[in-house]
Amino acid sequence: MWTNALKQGNNDENQFNDQQQKRRRSTFADEDDLPLTNKINNDQTPTIRTLLHQIRTSNQLLYISPPMNDAREQLILELYEYEGIITNQKRIQHSRYQLGIESESEYKTTFKSLLNKLPMSSKSLEDAYEIIESLITSADDYVNTWLDFQSLWDLQPDQLYTRLGKDLTNWMACLNEMKDARKTFDTQETLKHFGPISIDYNKVQTKVTMKYDSWHKEILSKFGTMLSQDMHEFHAHVSKARTDLESQSLEASTTAEAVGVITYVQALKRKMKNWEKQVNIKNSFVETNFIRKCL
């Protein structure tokens, strides 16, 4: 039952409104902030408190507060607390009516030893721990997606330009990746839920968006400049090759001149394959309206 409650967690993201977000300041949400469905358990479903983690920024450094390890600790404590409903019950002791008897350990006075007597076929505890780890892993991966945006502040333009080089396909891939990465923060939502774990990124969403847009415009401008320069150079090479070819005479007076013309034509044919590839790449920019889509 506890495992099912952990799986369900807080699946309705609309249960948290902006006013409630401002009131949360601790790992556990305040009792008044908990959704109504968590307070009323007509079906006796265990209540698992909401764990709120905020992605914040300080001195241009992104971090998660509190750390995700705290969520693991709190969920395990919640599991212990639920187990304690049974295991912490007191056994009936005949010694309580006798004087002078030494106190016995809690394993003899309570039912904690029952956990060691669970049948081997029962995997209730294993399932609970596996689900806890699965939720923590999913939440941690999502948090790391946000923390990866730290590179927006750490990366220098010269480092990026050196890595991309002069290959326009590398620049295209970079711009496409930036476009896809925008989906992470370009949303109206400010919370992401993983069972009872809620990740609040409201405090950094605007800052990341502004920094991202600044980088995007700079890279797109640089790409446009390189594309324009590359097209001018390409046109100059093709024009020169055409002029040189037209200046060649097919009526060669000597064998050497004839061989020279044939050699030049063969060299142009080899260059044609590379030129055709470049034309196709540049045409793809126009046909797919690439630059407009990147905006």
- The pLDDT score that the predictor gives to residue 33 is 44
- The pLDDT score that the predictor gives to residue 127 is 86
Residue 194 lies in a domain: yes
pLDDT of residue 152 exceeding 50, the answer is yes
Cβ proximity of 51 and 135 under 8 Å: no
pLDDT of residue 223 exceeding 60, the answer is yes
Residue 56 lies in a domain: yes
Domain that holds residue 11: 2-217
Cβ proximity of 65 and 24 under 8 Å: no
pLDDT category of residue 286 using cuts at 50, 70 and 90: low
Residue 33 lies in a domain: yes
Give φ, ψ of 40 to 5 degrees.
-105, 115
Task: Look at residues 118, 134, 120 and name the one whose alpha carbon lies nearest to residue 6.
Answer: 134
pLDDT of residue 236 exceeding 50, the answer is yes
pLDDT category of residue 39 using cuts at 50, 70 and 90: very low
Question: In whole angstroms, how far apart are CA 156 and each of 152, 153, 160, 215?
Answer: 9, 8, 7, 10
Residue 264 lies in a domain: no
Residue 118 lies in a domain: yes
Lowest mean pLDDT among 95-99, 156-160, 238-242, 265-269: 95-99
Residue 8 lies in a domain: yes
Total number of domains in the chain: 1
Question: In whole angstroms, how far apart are CA 195 and each of 60, 136, 289?
Answer: 30, 10, 41
Residue 135 lies in a domain: yes
Lowest mean pLDDT among 18-22, 79-83, 128-132: 18-22
Residue 18 lies in a domain: yes
Q: Which pTM was predicted?
A: 0.65
- pLDDT higher at 242 or 51: 51
Which span out of 39-48, 79-88, 138-147 was modeled with the highest average pLDDT? 138-147
Q: How far apart are CA 226 and CA 172, in angstroms?
A: 12
What integer is the mean pLDDT of 12-24?
43
- When the pLDDT of each residue in the chain is averaged and rounded to a whole number, the result is 76
